[in-house]
Structure 1
Amino acid sequence: MTGFETREVWLRGRFGGRGQALARLLSLAAAPTFAVMALIAAMAPADMICGAMQGPLSLQGMVPMYALMSAFHLAPWLRLFR
């Protein structure tokens, strides 16, 4: 053995065989978390988040960032439905 182990071997050793399930649950948690954060940022008063916000439909700020992060983390959810 070269001293390197695969992710699966590491997860099995670290979490007693439950590592794959834990990793899958964490990957499923990312997209909804970012979607909720986008909603919270969209509903919060503008002066509370960022005083320099241009407007509600601006491409700057936290709402588009959280929406994009949520979209980029949709892959585990899409794998559930294929």
Structure 2
Amino acid sequence: MSETQAVTRGSASNSRDNGTTAIISAADFLYLAAAPTFAIMALLTSVFGGGSLDALCGASPLSGMVPMYLLMSAFHLAPWLKLLSQRRNSVRRC
């Protein structure tokens, strides 16, 4: 009977590990999705308008949605830079 309980516990822990792995994978995807998403939003906002007309009246070039999206994209580049540095390090080790 103790062997049956051990097998049952083992399979339960494997299912929990699979669930945790799936959550971590989803979090990693979201972690990498921010920078490209903000860059696309900046591009779409600049192409299809949506910017303010204040730029024509001498307002700061950093005002408006496009610069904000570009700055947000730049601030979220850290995961991409970390991923690239890890890949370069793994290539150098081989």
The answer to whether residue 35 in structure 2 is matched with residue 31 in structure 1 is: yes
Indicate the RMSD between aligned Cα atoms, in angstroms. Answer: 2.1
- What is the alpha-carbon distance in structure 1 between the residues aligned to residue 74 and residue 36 of structure 2? 10
Which is bigger in relative contact order (C-alpha 8 A, separation at least 6)?
1
Query: Kindly, what percent of the aligned residue pairs are identical?
Result: 51
Shift in Å, 1:51: 4.6
Gaps of 5+ in 2: 1-15, 86-94
Correspondences of 1:39-78 after superposition (within 5 Å): 39-45=43-49, 49-55=50-56, 58-78=61-81
Unaligned runs of 5+ in 1: 1-12
1:14-66 deviations in Å (ceiling 9; x for gaps): x8121111100001110000000000111123xxx2554314x8211000000
Bigger Rg over Cα: 2
Instruction: Give the alignment's TM-score, normalised by structure 1.
Output: 0.68
What's the counterpart of residue 80 of structure 1? 83
Q: How many residues align?
A: 65
TM-score of the pair, normalised by structure 2: 0.60
